Structure 1
Amino acid sequence: MKLFECQHCHQPLYFENTLCERCGHRLGYMPDPGMLTALEPTETEGAWTALAFPGKRFKFCRNAELDACNWLLEDDDEATHCAACRHNHIIPDLSDAENLTRWRKLELAKHHLFYTLTNLKLPLKTRAEDPENGLVFDFLSDTVNPDGSVTPVLTGHSNGLITINVAEADDAEREKRRTEMGEPYRTLLGHFRHEIGHYVWDRLVLANPDTLERFRALFGDEREDYGEALQRHYASGPPGDWQSNYVSGYAAAHPWEDFAETWAHYLHIVDTLETARAFGLKIRPRVSEGADLQAEVDFNPHKARDIEDLIEPWLPLTYAVNSLNRSMGQPDLYPFILSKPVIEKLGFMNKMVRAL
């Protein structure tokens, strides 16, 4: 994520800001060209001019009325929802205050996801554009049955439909599930990045025979029975040496999950490196062998030609931020090991994206 600033007073801004706290200007995000802009109202209700683009008029996504979106559309656009919100299919019952709070958190994570997806120029057709396989989201709650039992909503993907259990937006509930599943890392944004990996596999791997052949050589044959593979994983866990070949234990369950987990980490790396670049971070460890851990992110990670360009600064950066977290008594920010086979799989992701 890059840094933003108010065009009126130059106050530094976060991606999710809706108001400049220094000068009071309303803020809105333009996905193309990827800019957060200060706004001024016009004589027409609901229409705004952008200080970043004088002379052009914009309107907010309809979900801005619910404090769930700060994205803009051009004022003459017939659409009512922005490039991210138009992919929603089902949202929770917003008359429930708890659901509204959770949905806002879900939308923030989803918009962060779309920030990266649009920068990588990935195909993002809606269901209106592609009724069978277009990208669409259902945000659902567990169902309490008449007998008091609960039918849980399973987070997952199927033919472009991504389902997220709104309970994942509750920090305590998500941490409980992380502990029960023995996971080192579990976030809302991580869920979105993993599930979109399944969608990307359908769009960019399955649809291309040459890419599919290279995928099978690296990740394995996805034609292995998926249900049986998951049953085996949950019954026995990952193989003891999984860290030698996989980015997570769950990635070892099946080639589809290996791809989705690795894709999520590819997005973690690209987005975090962009943030490091925006802050001008340089790593210069003051230890006798610190030269091996020196790094500077002085390039656009979204356009990296080779995976080595990403990994070379990533490893020193994660060592540094993990150390900072430990100084605050927090767990490692990035508690993962990137083995040589995992880096090769990440290279597959980068080549696939660069070919778009």
Structure 2
Amino acid sequence: MKLFKCSNCGQAVYFENIYCQHCHSSLGFETGELKLYALKPENNKKYRLINGIRTDNQYSYCQNHGYNVCNWLVPTGNNSPFCVACDLNRTIPYLGQKEDYDKWYRVETAKRRLIHSLLRFGLDVKSKNADPFGGIMFDFLADRNQNNGNRIMTGHDNGLITINIAEADDIYREMSRNQMNEVYRTLLGHFRHEIGHYYWDLLIGRTNKLNDFRNLFGDERADYGFALQQYYSNNTSRIWKKQFISKYASAHPWEDWAESWAHYMHIVDTLETADSFGLNVRPKVAKPDDDMSTSFVDPYTVKNFDDIIDMWLPLTFAMNSLNRSMGLRDLYPFVISKTIKEKLRFIHQVVRDAGNSSSTG
């Protein structure tokens, strides 16, 4: 995620900020320009952008701003009182339960980061309200919503993404990570994984890219239920590491795609942050042409995937070294083999083909 600045005073502000701590202007995210703007209040809870391109347009805050979970804007005259991100919600937690409200806040924060990335890629983001068969919808549910006592399963079904809000609880998520023997488990990662299933349907399953997908990821026509059964019965296997980005990716080609898709989004978002902060990686012991040295550019504008990897590997080396200095486990515990790199390259090209981002390189 890039760093923003207040359009009124120039102070650095974060994506989630609802006001500028320097000039105290209210802030709102405008999805047409994908920028965070200081706002000039007008009558009837309407606002205009301060120093924005669309200064003549009026906006309201998303209706969920009233619950302090959203800072995105809705243009006056919009069909929905909700922003692009919140209009994707079908079910939210019971707000009378403070614990559930706190989890919903964290869920919405992660979801807006997801939607921001999709919009930056130029991908189609539309609600099932507008497109019942091809759109996206989210159910954010708690285990208590199940009458039979079973757990809510996070997953995807034809554009409907269900998230168990317990994933917003750090202790629950860490217990699940250990139980499932995962090296990485985050709330944002769940969103990116499940949306990957949705875009597989949209960008692979219904296109001429299906054969290319099968050459890299395998044949998705393999029985999914049986594949998962086999995976969970042999969860101690270590033969996956050179072929798959995670152990779960080895379960079935669909899961390989979704895990790789999520990983690609992790890479791009983190590189955007590095670029936004003006970072450079220049190890003092490195030679001038050492491949562990790099400077960063906005990854959303990069056409050649090799340039993405050339930025990514030095950054992960530095991140892991910093974590070890704090006595923490590696922030990036993954190895990108040649096979995994080609899968990520394929996703990079699919996203660029489907989106409308500009290119360099």
Q: Deviations over 1:129-162 (max 9, x none)?
A: 221231000001113878xx83100000010000
Residue 259 (structure 1) shift? 0.1
Show the 5 A alignment for 1:144-223. Answer: 150-208=149-207, 210-223=208-221
Between 271-280 and 288-297, report the one with greater CA deviation.
288-297
The aligned residue for residue 258 of structure 2 is 260
Judge which range, 229-238 or 242-251, deviates more.
Answer: 229-238
User: 1: CA distance between counterparts of 2:279 and 2:146?
Assistant: 52
Q: Distance in 1 between matches of 2:145 and 2:19?
A: 39
Shift of residue 127, structure 1, vs aligned partner: 0.8
Between 136-145 and 12-21, report the one with greater CA deviation: 136-145
Equivalenced residue count is 351
Counterpart of 1:24 in structure 2 is 24
Distance 1:145 1:47 in 2: 40
Distance in 2, Cα, partners of 1:161 & 1:85: 14
What is the Cα deviation at residue 238 of structure 1? 6.3
Choose from 319, 322, 327 the match for 1:321. Answer: 319
Are residues 1:7 and 2:14 paired?
no
Instruction: Report the Cα offset of residue 342 of structure 1.
Output: 0.4
- 1:184-210 Cα offsets, whole Å, 9 max, x none, are 1111100000000000100000010x2
**Distance in structure 1 (CA, Å) of the matches to 2:237 and 2:40:** 58
1:134 aligns to what?
Answer: 135
C-alpha distance 318-139 of structure 1, shift in aligned 2 (>3 A): same
Partner of 1:117: 118
Aligned-residue offset at 1:78: 2.9
SS in 2 for 1:162: strand
- The residue type paired with residue 89 of structure 1 is R
* 2:60 partner amino acid: K
2:284 equivalent to 1:283: no
- Secondary structure of the 1:154 match is coil
Deviation for aligned residue 1:125: 2.2
CA gap of 1:145–1:55, structure 2 versus 1, over 3 A, is: closer
Distance 1:25 1:263 in 2: 37
**Cα distance between partner residues in 1 of 2:221 and 2:79:** 43
1:89 matches 2:87? no
Report the RMSD for the aligned CA atoms in angstroms: 1.5
Give the TM-score taking structure 1 as reference length.
Answer: 0.95
Name the SS for the 1:40 alignment partner: strand
Residues 105 and 169, structure 1, Cα contact 8 Å, conserved in 2: yes
**Matching of residues 48-127 of structure 1 within 5 Å:** 48-53=47-52, 54-127=55-128
1:284-323 aligned within 5 A: 284-288=282-286, 291-298=290-297, 300-323=298-321
Q: What is the Cα deviation at residue 124 of structure 1?
A: 1.7
CA distance in 1, matches of 2:149, 2:17: 37
Residue of structure 1 equivalent to 2:359:
none
Deviation at 1:100, TM superposition (A): 0.7
| Cα displacement string for residues 16-48 of structure 1 (whole angstroms, at most 9, x for unaligned residues) | 000111111111001111100011211x12101
Residue 240 of structure 1 and its aligned partner are, at CA, apart by: 2.4
In structure 2, what residue type is equivalent to 1:286?
Answer: K
CA distance in 1, matches of 2:142, 2:90: 14
For 2:236 and 2:294, locate their aligned partners in 1 and report how far apart those are by CA, in whole Å.
33
Q: Percent same amino acid among aligned pairs?
A: 47
Unaligned runs of 5+ in 2: 355-361
TM-score by length of 2: 0.94
How far off is 1:310 after superposition? 0.5
Q: Look up the SS of the partner of 1:151 in the other structure.
A: coil
Q: Work out the CA distance in 2 between the residues paired with 1:122 and 1:322.
A: 32
- 1:185 is matched by which residue type in structure 2? Y
Could you list the per-position Cα deviations for residues 259-314 of structure 1 after superposition, in whole angstroms to 9, with x for gaps in the alignment? 0000001101111111111111111112255822001112x311321210110110
Q: Secondary structure, in 3 states, of the residue corresponding to 2:209?
A: helix
Tell me the secondary structure at the aligned position of residue 200 of structure 2: helix
Q: In the TM superposition, what is the alpha-carbon distance from 1:76 to its structure 2 partner?
A: 2.6
Offset, 1:216: 0.3
